[in-house]
A and B are shown apart, each in its own frame.
Chain A
Amino acid sequence: MKFMMFVCSDAEPDTDPTELPDIHKWVAENDSRGRRLTGDALAPTSAATTVRVRGGELLVSEGPFAETAEVIVGFDLLDCADLDEAIEVARTHPMAREGRLELRPFADLPD
């Protein structure tokens, strides 16, 4: 089952002084096991552009949907057996400690 893993910043990161896991090792490990399909870091929200169409008119504006303290800084697309496996993948990501991760399964919509 596919999960979009949103990588977010967090106002209260982990205070554990031990070294953070290496992100490159995390990517290599999960790619080789077929549990991570793709992923990347995103440019800061100052680079975001919001697009809407209202009554046929295109509205383009600067900035993210909503100004919040916690922002999405990256994403990974996971392919796991179930939530427990996705949690196992997420817990070893460095941002599980420096920020927070949100696991969102793909909607199981009929074709």
Chain B
Amino acid sequence: MFTSPRRPMPTQAPAGAAAAVAAASVEAYPRIVATLIRVTGDWSLAEDCAQESLTAALERWPADGVPANPGGWLMTVARNRAIDVLRRATVERRKLHDLALLTPDEASPEPEVGQDVVDDRLRLIFTCCHPALAIEARVALTLRTVCGVPTADIARLLLVSESTMTRRLTRARTRITQAGIPYRVPSGPALTERLPGVLAVLYLLFTRGYVADGEPAFADEAVRLARLLDRLMPEQSEVAALLALFLFHHSRRDARRDAAGTLLTLHRQDRDRWDRAAIAEGLATLDRVRHDGPYAWQARIAACHATAVSVDDTDWPTIARAYDALADLRPSPVIALNRAVAHGYAYGPAVGLALLDAARAGGGLGGYPLAVAVEADLVARQGDRLRAASLFREAAAAVASTAERRALLGRADELAG
């Protein structure tokens, strides 16, 4: 359900109070948590108080009306709650003093202004994505704490029960404190070292949303996070490259399946259904990318696809060159396979098949159904329809996703028919 509250605040009327709470929480929740963590150093306290402010809003707003500054209202309630808890604990005198220093200005910041807010959000992202946390913990913690996604929704998306997810999040927060993970954005060379780890979490989120049987909500969150990170670190061009890459892929979200839900390859997608606004934003973002990192090359490849009117019209030589660069920078079996595809379109199926042989000889593609599908496509374009059909069936038998299997069997039937 967490994709719905992204719209602007709908109404001041009591009937819209629940929607208003949901809408306000998206921006306010992470900011409240970030501020309370900075001041108290206590992740669990921060999350609990932020949550309680939302509960209070759900009780009060229907009767009292939505306040003029919903985010500020939530922050004040959360802060007062934190003061209560700490006062009862009494041992935390210094923290209590710090908390009292939270001026009303700081407690109700205007959205997206002020260096404190920027720093808090960045600190939160870098801490949630610290390499000393397991990757699953990083993903869950980022969704909960940075994106404000409710625990129940994260549990549903990651296919575990809500109580399991609650325990995992609690363990991750405890680990941050116990292991001594600092609440800080690394500086200098450390930032360069740590940023790829943060981008890897975003990339994983996006792919979970983008894979055939995935949850599109993940991709929406990844795009939002990449936009946020790009706004917070405009000087980091690899962030812009990742955002551009997401936007190009995301632009095809409505065109990727037919009415029956079957996954469509680029060849078959109705390009009129691609999201032109997302592509335009992607191109403008890519325009700021001046370096040659792995996401930059991937974004340039995606841009070639996004701006082509058809598969044949696509600038395949440019894509082939980008895959050459990627294969040098980040050699992997999948890159080698995609490189064979690109060269196959740019310079003919024989060239593609030769590179596919080389990629297979490099190892790592045995039992990978997509490699068989690529071979099938190249063989089909060489004119051997029967052999291509049999290869598509072989690939279909090996894929795990139903949507992909249907797509591959469809190609086989066409060629054999």
Contact = CB atoms under 8 A, between A and B. Distances in A.
Contacts of A84: 181-182, 184, 186, 190
Nearest to B132: A83
Interface residues of A, number: 11
Interface residues of B, number: 10
A83 B131 CA distance: 11
B4 interface: no
Interface of B: 130, 132, 178-182, 184, 186, 190
Contacts of A83: 130, 132, 179-182
Q: Determine the main DSSP class of B at the interface with A.
A: loop
Contacts of B180: 1, 3, 80, 82-83, 86, 105
A11 interface: no
Nearest to A1: B180
Contacts of A3: 180
Nearest to B176: A83
A108 interface: yes
A107 to B, nearest CB: 8
Nearest to B91: A110
B182 A82 contact: yes
A27 to B, nearest CB: 22
Interface string A80-99: 11111011000000000000
B182 A105 contact: no
B179 to A, nearest CB: 5
Nearest to A104: B179
A86 B130 CA distance: 14
A81 B181 CA distance: 10
Nearest to B186: A84
Contacts of B190: 84
Which 6 residue pairs across A and B have the least CB separation, nearest first?
A: A82-B182, A83-B180, A82-B180, A83-B181, A1-B180, A105-B180
Nearest to B177: A108
A81 B180 CA distance: 8
Given A86-B180, A87-B132, 10 more contacts: A3-B180, A80-B180, A82-B181, A82-B184, A83-B130, A83-B179, A83-B182, A84-B182, A105-B178, A105-B180
Contacts of B184: 82, 84
